[in-house]
Amino acid sequence: MNKQRLHPDVVAVLEAKTASGAPAMETLPVDEARKLAFEGHQAVQAQPQLVARVDNLRIPGPDCDIPIRVYTPDCRTPLAAVVYYHGGGWVVCDLDTHEVLCRALANRAHAVVIAVDYRLAPENRFPAAVIDAYAALCWTAEHADRLHIDPRRMVVAGDSAGGNLSAVVSMMARDNNGPQIALQVLVYPVTNLAALDTPSYREFATDYNLTAAQMEWFRRNYLRRPEDALDPRASPLLAPDLKGLPPALVITAECDPLRDEGEAYAKRLEQAGVPVTMTRYAGMIHPFFTMTGAIGDSRKAIRQVGEAIRALP
């Protein structure tokens, strides 16, 4: 680990993790890995902010009901909607691990946040998460009045695997003529499961929280077969055409194996004529965005996302 590359907040987080003696996630059974992920998130999060209303719902999907959690700030006029897909490699994390983040985002963006508890692998492998993610987006658009949202200001957002799902549902919405998406927010997204071999993968393979071995474990648990990695619904960077997609805010972390593929996707979007704002947070690791209680740049990134959503016409 090169501490000179890292922000002091990050160094403190990594040193605390090392001191805890927590095992590598990929060495654990899935149930234990999920418990470890929850405990890890709890250790680095701020106190949850108050939101005017929080509702737990179950909505119909093509294959099963989908749990969602709706965070609604206090407002008399229809708000922007943020359909949020949590990270966790499609294997770990849930509505509870991202509770603090979603509350903060609802307040900062002054938007209704609809957090989606899509099915996890390996119990439900690709494309189950994709199916649930798109179904939740469609349900949100169809229930705009009930949710008190403005369907012209629909946002999809997510971190890591959730950033992947946000990119994928943006393509699905384009190809299916809706729902209309005003902005896609991709926070250190997974964009290419076919090749875990970028320079950032090699440079930050170990010692920077998310490891190459952990990503390999996620991929193995998520996909049904290796060739699924070539499907653009798993690897949006491999999509042949990115024209006509919604504007994008892409956030990456400097010391993250996923950095290069996230930035490569932003570049391809730009080349396709999509308006893109791309920000690399120096000295940050994966998943700094959710470390609201330990890393100042987490709160800075949430402010950036909130301001982008507030600026929607």
Say if CB 254 and CB 279 are below 8 A apart: no
> C-alpha distances in angstroms, 70 versus 8, 101, 124, 153, 275?
35, 13, 24, 16, 28
Token pair in block for residue 181: 């998406």
Picking from 188, 212, 191, 210, the residue whose alpha carbon sits closest to that of residue 202 is: 212
Q: Reply yes or no: is the peptide bond before residue 62 cis, omega within 30 of 0.
A: no
Q: How far is CA 225 from the centre of its chain?
A: 23
Residues designated catalytic: 160, 256, 286
HEC secondary structure over 171-220: HHHHHCCCCCCCEEEEECCCCCCCCCCCHHHHHCCCCCECCHHHHHHHHH
Q: Which residues contact 47 (CB under 8 A, 6 or more apart)?
A: 100, 293
| DSSP 8-state code for residue 303 | H
Number of H helices, E strands in the chain: 10, 8
Compute, in degrees rounded to 10, the torsion defined by CA atoms 175, 177, 182, 184.
Answer: -20
Q: Give dist(CA 78, CA 149) in Å, integer.
A: 4
Tokens 């946040």, located at residue? 113
Which residues make beta-bridge pairs with 72? 53
